[in-house]
């Protein structure tokens, strides 16, 4: 995915540079850029489209698109597996819970002779739906803990890389940056710091109901849209 992003980014900046260069081309030598002398929008759009086609590397872009698609499919498969696990666990627990609820209060619910038949199915439905919701919340909490731990580790290692590249990190002679960071990551101090950061991140997520506060919700709005899109695909695909 990283290589695919780099490929797309490289092609984007190449197109951008060629686009700016094309805007300043004066083939007629009259002191006026050619693009400003094109009266018809259709002709200008065609010129720019052909410029994009010339600038982009189709083979590299196709490979990057395939990588993005494969990554998206892997994410969708993982999310669908999690949803399936939540539904399976919730249905099983809900069925057991429904039997107990029906035994305790089922006979006390009186709906009349024409509607009494709905008592048991109603209890089953309510118990299973609630159990599936709680199961999904349980999985979400467990994944929030996992993401907090992973995020704290990435944050700490990223800080160490920054410190090393700016001369604040002392490492033994002959050790590469990655080897030095790997050594530090095995120390108790590193584990303690990442644990505190992970705990703070997990607590922050849970107490806020997995919602982003302002201004993070505004900055990360595109990512939120992608999340909703992924949830929609998982739910209806």
Residues counted in the chain: 237
Instruction: At 202, list the tokens.
Output: 């997990």
Contact call for residues 156 and 193 (beta carbons, < 8 A): yes
Q: Is the pLDDT of residue 235 over 70?
A: no
Contact call for residues 47 and 35 (beta carbons, < 8 A): yes
Least confident of 4-18, 70-84, 88-102, 118-132: 70-84
- Per-residue pLDDT of 168-221, as tens digits, reads 777 766 777 777 777 777 778 788 888 888 888 888 888 887 777 778 778 888
Which of 85, 166, 74 has the alpha carbon at shortest distance from 132? 85
**pTM (two decimals):** 0.51
Q: Is the pLDDT of residue 17 over 70?
A: yes
Peptide bond into 215 cis (omega under 30): yes
Which of 119, 139, 117 has the alpha carbon at shortest distance from 127? 119
Question: Could you give the CA distance from residue 23 to residue 28 in angstroms, rounded to a whole number?
Answer: 13
């Amino acid at each position: 995915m990283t290589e695919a992003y780099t490929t797309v980014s490289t092609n984007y900046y190449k197109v951008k540079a060629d686009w700016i260069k094309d805007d300043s081309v004066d083939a007629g030598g009259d002191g006026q850029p050619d693009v400003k002398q094109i009266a018809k929008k259709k002709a200008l759009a065609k010129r720019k489209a052909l410029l994009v086609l010339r600038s982009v590397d189709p083979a590299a872009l196709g490979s990057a698109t395939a990588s993005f698609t494969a990554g998206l499919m892997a994410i969708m498969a993982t999310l669908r597996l999690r949803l399936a696990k939540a539904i399976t666990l919730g249905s099983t627990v809900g069925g057991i819970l429904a039997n107990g609820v029906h035994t305790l209060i089922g006979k006390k619910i009186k709906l009349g002779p024409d509607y009494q038949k709905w008592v048991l199915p109603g209890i089953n439905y309510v118990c299973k739906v609630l159990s599936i919701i709680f199961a999904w919340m349980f999985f979400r909490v467990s994944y929030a803990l996992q993401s907090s731990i992973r995020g704290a580790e990435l944050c700490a290692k990223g800080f160490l890389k920054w410190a090393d590249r700016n001369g604040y990190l002392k490492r033994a002679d002959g050790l590469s940056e990655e080897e030095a960071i790997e050594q530090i990551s095995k120390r108790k101090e590193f584990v303690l710091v990442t644990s505190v950061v992970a705990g703070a991140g997990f607590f922050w997520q849970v107490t806020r109901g997995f919602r982003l506060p302002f201004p993070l919700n505004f900055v990360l709005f595109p990512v939120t849209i992608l999340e909703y899109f992924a949830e929609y695909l998982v739910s209806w695909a």
